[in-house]
């Protein structure tokens, strides 16, 4: 089963590990960027919160891990996603780049998107439903 992790769940995976058996994890470039930005720059929001809770030495290791996405977490090829993003934008012209990439990744990978509760409160679930793509809410530990 392919799964696309949102930025908050990617952070959870890299800091704690939350894998389920038989699941191949992926993320998007935009979600990966936002997770790295939160780790390095922090802003006190739900993305950087897990890093602030760590001891300084553990925080440095976690930030370093964020900047080197493990090979076992897939990152879909932009060459494959961009045409899908354009197609999806035709049906959802007000959808932002982050959400377009997520929907395209789910389509390209035949994946379920795992959304943190915060992300599930946005526009993405309705678009995923409209595109007949699977998603579920996963609460970080």
Which range of residues forms the domain containing residue 31? 2-137
Residue 115, beta-bridge partner list: 137
Among candidates 26, 30, 34, which has minimal Cα distance to 8? Answer: 34
What is the distance of C-alpha 23 from the center of its chain? 15
* Paired residues of 2 in beta bridges: 24
* CATH code where residue 124 lies: 3.40.50.1010
Global model pTM greater than 0.85: yes
CA distance 59 to 82: 34
Which residues, including other chains, have CB under 8 Å from residue 65's CB and lie 6 or more apart? 14, 15
pLDDT, tens digit (0-9, with 9 covering 90-100), for 67-120: 888 898 999 999 999 999 999 999 999 999 999 999 999 999 999 999 999 999
* Total number of domains in the chain: 1
């Amino acid at each position: 089963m392919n799964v696309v992790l949102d930025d908050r769940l990617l952070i959870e995976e890299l800091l704690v590990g939350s894998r389920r058996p038989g699941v191949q994890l992926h993320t998007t470039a935009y979600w990966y960027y936002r997770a790295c930005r939160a780790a390095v720059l922090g802003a006190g929001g739900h993305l950087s919160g897990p890093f602030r809770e760590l001891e300084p030495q553990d925080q440095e290791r976690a930030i370093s891990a964020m900047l080197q996405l493990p090979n076992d977490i897939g990152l879909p090829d932009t060459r494959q996603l961009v045409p899908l993003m354009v197609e999806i934008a035709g049906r959802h012209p007000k959808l932002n780049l982050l959400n377009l990439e997520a929907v395209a990744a789910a389509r390209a990978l035949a994946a379920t998107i795992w959304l943190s509760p915060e992300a599930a409160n946005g526009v993405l679930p309705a678009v995923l439903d409209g595109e007949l793509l699977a998603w579920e809410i996963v609460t970080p530990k």
